């Protein structure tokens, strides 16, 4: 069985500050890991994914995440927050057997203050 824990249901940062959204996962097989963003009344949009290879992955809108197997973590970062980054962010895990079928965390709402 797989699970995802997102630490902090709400994160608030000032515009221009570092964004750090935390995600820890549990998986009995090598995981595929994803970060999605959801704007109000919208579906989920993929920010980035880790499958194999380089553990630091870069995504859209300046976001990146690092897969740390020893820590079972896949934290999402962005060096400088923009007002348009305000949204809800979901971390998800799947495995190679059922790629595309993901288990999601409960989400972190990011607020960006001017």
Partner 1 sequence: EAGVAQSPRYKIIEKRQSVAFWCNPISGHATLYWYQQILGQGPKLLIQFQNNGVVDDSQLPKDRFSAERLKGVDSTLKIQPAKLEDSAVYLCASSRTGRTEAFFGQGTRLTVV
In the chain, which ranges are E strands?
3-7, 10-14, 19-26, 31-38, 44-50, 56-58, 64-68, 73-78, 87-95, 103-104, 108-113
How far is Cα 94 from Cα 81, in angstroms, rounded to an integer?
28
Of the candidates 92, 96, 87, the residue with the CA atom closest to the CA atom of residue 106: 92
Min CB(17)–partner 1 separation in Å: 25
What would the x/- binding string for partner 1 be over residues 75 to 94, using CB under 8 A?
---------------x-x-x
Instruction: Give the three-state DSSP class for 106.
Output: coil
Interaction pattern, residues 95-114, with partner 1; x per rule: CB under 8 A: ---xxxxxxxxxx-------
Which one of 14, 26, 45, 80 is in contact with partner 1 (CB under 8 A)?
Answer: 45
Judged by CB under 8 A, the chain residues 1 through 20 that form the site for partner 1 are 4, 9
Q: Which residues bind partner 1 (CB under 8 A)?
A: 4, 9, 32, 34, 36, 41-46, 49, 51, 90, 92, 94, 98-107
């Amino acid at each position: 069985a797989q699970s995802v824990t997102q630490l902090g249901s709400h994160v608030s940062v000032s515009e221009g500050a570092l964004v750090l959204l935390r995600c820890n996962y549990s998986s009995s097989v090598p995981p595929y890991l994803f970060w999605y963003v959801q704007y109000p009344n919208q579906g989920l949009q993929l920010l980035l994914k880790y499958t194999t290879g380089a553990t630091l992955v870069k995504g859209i809108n300046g976001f990146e995440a690092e897969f740390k197997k020893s820590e079972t973590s896949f934290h999402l970062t962005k060096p400088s927050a923009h007002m348009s980054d305000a949204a809800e962010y979901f971390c998800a895990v799947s495995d190679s057997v059922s790629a595309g079928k993901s288990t999601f965390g409960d989400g972190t709402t990011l607020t960006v203050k001017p």
